[in-house]
A and B are shown apart, each in its own frame.
Chain A
Amino acid sequence: MSVLVFLENWDGRFKKLSFELVSYASKVADMLYSPVIALSFGQVDASELEKLATYGASKVISVENDLLGTFDEQAFAGLIAGVAQNTDAKVLVLANNNAGKALAPRLSVRLKAGVASGVSKLPVSTEPFVVYKKVYSGKAFANILIKTDIKILTLAQNSFELVESPKPFVCEKSAAGPDGSLIKTQVKEVQIQSGKILLTDADIVVSGGRGMKSPENWAPLVELAGLLGAATACSRPVSDEGWRSHDEHTGQTGKIIAPNLYFAIGISGATQHLAGISSSKFIVAINTDKDAPIFEAAQYGIIGDALKVLPKLVEAVKEMKSK
């Protein structure tokens, strides 16, 4: 019996999300008195794989095969399902990002395993197996009973603290590839954004809305983000107007994020926007309208004009950093 956690890598490196997944899997495994097996696809150095043991993986299976160069969802799912069967996995843990969203449902059908997606907490109980998850885009939560022998959980990013629980590093290398006949997608081009903090990875996010009044006014917001090592984001009207790129849109239909700190600057906080940011640990709201719904979601607020407040914040952060 095992808990199997699936890991992607980015140019041979793991990121915080990877270690959140292993930490989470390791806690779930403790509840089931079973070991955690980490499954990594693609070329990753031993020094990087070893980090997975630090967060509690009893064994790392590293699969390197040329056919894994293309993320073919059907072929990947087939290969993971095989490992799940060989390792007698009772719980599979994946990220709730696009890769996890691609694989979890296919694995569910292959393994006849119930899925709970976007979980952020440990199971409420393991017998019966009940997990707590966000529904109605954060307006409510549900306790979901998974009735099958095998369970699949996808973990929301930035929702689970890293916990070190070092195990001896045991690594099994495998060259087993996916079934080539299943590969029906061909990647022609990959465009990777570099040098920019990913919105979904960021600890701090500085986000602007219509209260910024025009795209020319973004400089102090970008400066504030730069000083804090934060990612920049925006509300839907801002991206619809083309003031900022669509990649920055946070909200129900845009990116759903859970940073430590979220600055909502000139954003009124429509339900659709809150759906994308309500899992943030701290929300700061800056808005001229004292009745704006964003203040109900925020822990800290400033009633005032974003364009007048921003330079003051920039100055205060500079002062903080100079100390």
Chain B
Amino acid sequence: MKVLFCISNVPDTTTKVKFVNESKKLDVSGIQWVINPWDELALTRALELKDDAANGIQSVTVAHVGTVGAEPTIRKALAIGADDAIRVNTEADDAYTIAAQLAEAVRSEQFGIIMCGIESSDHNGSTVGGMLAEFLGCPSVTGVSSVKIEGGIPVIVREIDGGKEVLTVSAPFVAIVQKGIAKEPRIAAMRGIMMARTKPIKVIEPAACESLTEVVDYEMPKARAACKYVDAENAGKLIALLQNEAKVF
């Protein structure tokens, strides 16, 4: 079985975001780009599955929709251990176009398991994975905190409101993964970084596709009122403030 995982190229999560062009565009100056944290966990789990020969995973492929500027992030995924990469050569637009481009790029490739992070840390949309599954006409499982293969069958744990479900699903399918899927993201070793330089990145030209949504502009959050301090010795006063001033009790 072949595994695919899709990555978003996002600003490092500690970035202080700023906007330019009348708040219509992210100011990319000085930004360090990384693999979206959830996608990185998906990669880690895909590699763990491949490490155990009993799982019968032939290869782990990374897919990304973006321009050549994203190649360092793709190379990072290859350095961590992905075998090869597919890049659809177009500026990422909305989730719908990204999912449509991914679907076109991978439709004929016979991936058994497709993994996507549950959201990207930039637009927090939580939509690309589910859209990709719908475009491909295959099942999806959303909120996945564990993927195992038992006797050739994928066994999944899905987090639901207030609990979890253990389920089986027939491949091909899209696993939309969240926290728990892997403990710590795997990091690239020197050998991996060297090897990544020669691993193939297949570049595909985009299909025609129109976006369904667009960003009109961005706004910064309103500043919160200054913090009101209570003396540690009289900590109990805080409860009175919460009751009488904030009126939360």
Q: Which residues of A contact B (CB under 8 A)?
A: 8, 10, 70-74, 77, 96-99, 101-106, 108-110, 112-118, 130, 132-148, 154, 184-193, 198, 200, 204, 228, 246, 249, 252-254, 260-261, 270-272, 275, 278, 281-282, 284-285, 295-305, 308-309, 312-313, 315-317, 319-320
Contacts and interface: CB of A to CB of B under 8 A. Distances in A.
Contacts of A187: 165-167
The 10 closest A-B pairs by CB, nearest first: A304-B232, A105-B130, A316-B236, A114-B212, A98-B143, A102-B142, A312-B235, A192-B163, A109-B134, A316-B239
A316 B238 contact: yes
A106 B248 contact: no
Given A102-B142, A137-B121, A144-B216, A300 B243 contact: no
A282 B13 CA distance: 24
Interface stretch (B48-56, B84-92, B94-102): B94-102
Interface of B: 11, 13-17, 19, 37-38, 41, 94-96, 99, 118-119, 121-131, 133-135, 138-143, 155, 158-170, 173, 176, 178-180, 211-221, 224-225, 227-232, 234-243, 246, 248-249
B188 to A, nearest CB: 20
Nearest to B18: A140
B143 A309 contact: no
Contact of A300 (B140, B162, B246): B246
A189 B127 contact: no
A165 B189 CA distance: 60
A129 B161 CA distance: 30
Contacts of A117: 124-127
Contacts of B227: 285, 295-296, 298-301
20 contacts: A10-B162, A73-B139, A73-B141, A98-B161, A101-B176, A104-B130, A105-B133, A115-B95, A116-B213, A117-B125, A136-B11, A184-B138, A186-B167, A191-B163, A200-B161, A252-B13, A253-B37, A271-B13, A313-B239, A320-B243
Main secondary structure of the interface of B (DSSP, over half): mixed
Contacts of A296: 224, 227
Main secondary structure of the interface of A (DSSP, over half): mixed
A37 to B, nearest CB: 23
B212 A282 contact: no
A169 to B, nearest CB: 26
A134 B121 CA distance: 11
Contacts of A188: 155, 166-168
Contact of A316 (B13, B224, B235): B235
A305 B135 CA distance: 54
Contacts of B139: 72-74, 184-185
A254 B239 CA distance: 28
Given A108-B212, A145-B215, A184-B139, 7 more contacts: A8-B161, A101-B119, A101-B126, A104-B126, A146-B213, A192-B163, A305-B232
Contacts of A96: 126
Contacts of A130: 216
A180 B99 CA distance: 26
